[in-house]
Amino acid sequence: MYNKIYTEWNMPLRLKTGSDRCLFGYVKPLKPEMKIKEFEAYQAVYCGLCKQMGRLYGPLSRATLSYDITFLSLVALSLREEGGRFQQQRCAAHPLKKKLCACSCDDLSFGAHIAVLMVYYKLKDNIADSGPLGRIKYTLLLPPVAHARKKTLRVLPQVDSMIAEQMAQQSRFEQEGVRSVDKACDPTARALGLIFEELSRDEREKRILYQVGYMTGKFVYLADALDDLPDDSRTGSYNPYLAKFGCPHPSEEQLREIDSYAAEMINITVAQLAAAYELLELKRFKPILDNIIYLGFKHTYRLIVDKREKHNDRSVSNLRN
């Protein structure tokens, strides 16, 4: 499987998905390749998470839900033969028609707690890294999220401490401008690995889940850095690719080198993720998780590359005009 992913990574994958861009997370399925029942089950977990966040943290918390947290909850649910029932329910977004929705359960609650913690530390990071206007904006958003985090601390204090430690290390690395991309990825990857580890009490399964989470976190960091490359080059913000190549404002040739290196790094990361994923004994949702692992990650990468190409084409056109 490792070699299959590695050799097929650069093959074209150009399925249209409407306006489905990388707006709500990088870890998501390739919808056109899903069966209807699979998509409905995936959407039911997403909707169930949305409802659970509303129950635990209020309606505004639902805006923080991401595809990445849905992936976490799907993995959690896939490890159990029982639990995680589904039923037709109404919601604020679809008040006139009932939709299939995952019922409240511990796995959805865990996903909701993690979503709050990740948003809290993301806001803290944005406040530290943004300019004056950005700091004001993110500071105004912080109080309600900080209030929600206080609730989470009563349930998962050890997870919060672990995330805080890794995010502090991430900030130190970025302030130091580390040139090793692997080193720059490590705190984010480690944080997600430790979160996934919490999904099981079996020692063997915990080790596998840690690797799945670690490689997922590494992919998210690498993909996000590639996605942010044009903005980071313009603003002078830290970017691991720019730091590695020592070019804060890369030329076209340097950009090609960076893109080639990023593709290889992301390719290897997804292959290592798939190798760990194959060791999990899944009880449910395997076709959905297969889609995310073997198609979704690749499609996310292609969306980022396509967006970069369109951005470059517009820049060239503007220069000519």
pLDDT given at position 159: 96
Asked if the structure places residue 312 within a domain, the reply is yes
Asked if the structure places residue 75 within a domain, the reply is yes
Asked if the structure places residue 119 within a domain, the reply is yes
Q: What letter does residue 102 receive in the DSSP assignment?
A: E
Spatial CB neighbours of 233, under 8 Å, sequence gap ≥ 6: 239, 242, 248, 249, 250
| Half-sphere exposure at residue 72, Cβ-oriented, CA atoms within 13 angstroms | 33
243 closest CA partner among 315, 312, 228: 228
Report the predicted TM-score, pTM, of the whole model to 2 decimal places: 0.88
Asked if the structure places residue 20 within a domain, the reply is no
One DSSP character per residue, 203-214 reads HHHHHHHHHHHH
Q: Which residues of 39-53 are buried (b: 16+ CB within 10 A; e: fewer)?
A: bebbbbbbbbbbbbb
CATH number of the domain to which 208 belongs:
1.10.600.10
pLDDT given at position 312: 61
Asked if the structure places residue 294 within a domain, the reply is yes
Spatial CB neighbours of 49, under 8 Å, sequence gap ≥ 6: 65, 69, 70, 73, 102, 108, 111, 112, 115
Q: Which two tokens stand for residue 296?
A: 């979704």
Asked if the structure places residue 18 within a domain, the reply is no
Asked if the structure places residue 225 within a domain, the reply is yes
pLDDT given at position 83: 67
pLDDT given at position 19: 32
The residue with tokens 């593709």 is: 263
Nearest 5°: the CA angle 149, 151, 152 is: 60
Total count of domains within the chain:
1
**Cα separation, 136 vs 116, whole angstroms:** 20
Tens place of pLDDT for every residue, the chain, 321 residues? 434 443 344 443 333 333 333 334 799 999 999 999 999 999 999 999 999 999 999 988 888 888 999 999 999 999 988 766 888 888 777 777 888 899 999 999 999 999 999 999 989 988 887 778 888 999 999 999 999 999 999 999 999 999 999 999 999 999 999 999 999 999 999 999 999 999 999 999 999 999 999 999 999 999 999 999 999 999 888 999 999 999 999 999 999 999 999 999 999 999 999 999 999 999 999 999 999 999 999 999 999 999 877 766 554 344 344
Beta strand ranges found along the chain (DSSP E): 86-91, 94-102
H or E element in which residue 135 lies: helix 132-155
Q: How far is CA 7 from the centre of its chain?
A: 24
Asked if the structure places residue 288 within a domain, the reply is yes
Residue 260 belongs to domain spanning: 2-13+25-320
